[in-house]
Amino acid sequence: MATTKAPEDAYTAAPFVPELADLAALREAAAGCRGCPLHRDATQTVFGTGDTGARVMLVGEQPGDQEDRQGRPFVGPAGKLLDRALAEAGIDPGETYVTNAVKHFKFARSGPGKRRIHKAPSLREAVACGPWLAAELRLVEPELIVVLGATAGKALLGSSFRVTEVRGTVLEEEIHGRRERLVPTVHPSSVLRADDREGAYRGLLSDLKVAARTLV
């Protein structure tokens, strides 16, 4: 039975995830998730987009300001950069399912206009949200998971994940009971923040080309 409030010591989305659901039913159920406190301040749950035939699943960190308002992942500046890099790497967006490790926007209000400033989700919040990602993986059964940054990596592969150590390599790991192939890379937001933006973009592109080669 779903509860409406998560006790502070038991963050988990598990009671909210319906069994035997298709993607549409999952998305609908996720809209009511109260598995951790992040739902309280966010506008809405931002569930994954794409369909069950997608060959590649892209997993980011959490929705940003624009994603929170629009209800779709990667529609803001990081998403635009990601789309450009995917196209350049030869990965057809129509072959992708795009989602996040955490489905609610976490932020703090700051400055005179009290702008909403992104705050990184804790590992506990990412683990709490894991049952949604597990359900997405079960339904989509992607050939490959592209892991975008540290939060996604830790959510999927554990807290010892270090993106700098494994980016651009093909990993094979057991995740939520399924053998998965993964290519980790940096988060596209880190490219936007980098001093050497061009170099950081080339690094992202080179990792995505590794992903593209594993699909042929």
Residues that bind ligand URA (CB under 6 A): 60-64, 67, 73-74, 76, 78-79, 100, 189
- CA distance readout (Å), 179 to 22, 33, 58, 182: 21, 27, 17, 10
Specify the 3-state DSSP secondary structure of 10.
coil
Least Å from the CB of residue 206 to ligand URA = 20
Q: C-beta of 64: minimal distance to ligand URA in Å?
A: 4
Smallest gap, in angstroms, from Cβ of residue 129 to ligand URA?
Answer: 12
Query: 75 is written with which tokens?
Result: 């529609």
Taking the least distance from each CB to ligand URA, the nearer of 135 and 148 is: 148
Q: 118 or 176: whose CB is closer to ligand URA? A: 118
User: With respect to ligand URA, which residue has the nearer C-beta, 63 or 142?
Assistant: 63
Q: Which of residues 15 and 205 has its CB atom nearest to ligand URA in the complex?
A: 205
Beta strands in 5-101 (DSSP E): 56-60, 96-100
Nearer to ligand URA, 49 or 206 (CB): 49
Check: CB of residue 92 under 8 Å from CB of residue 180.
no
User: Cβ of residue 105: shortest distance to ligand URA, in angstroms?
Assistant: 9
- Minimum Å gap between C-beta 3 and ligand URA is 27
* 40-59: burial string, b at 16+ Cβ within 10 Å, e else: eebebbbbbbbeeebbbbbb
Residue nearest to ligand URA (CB): 60
Distance CA 141, CA 189 (A): 26
Cβ neighbour number for residue 169 with a 10 Å cutoff: 12
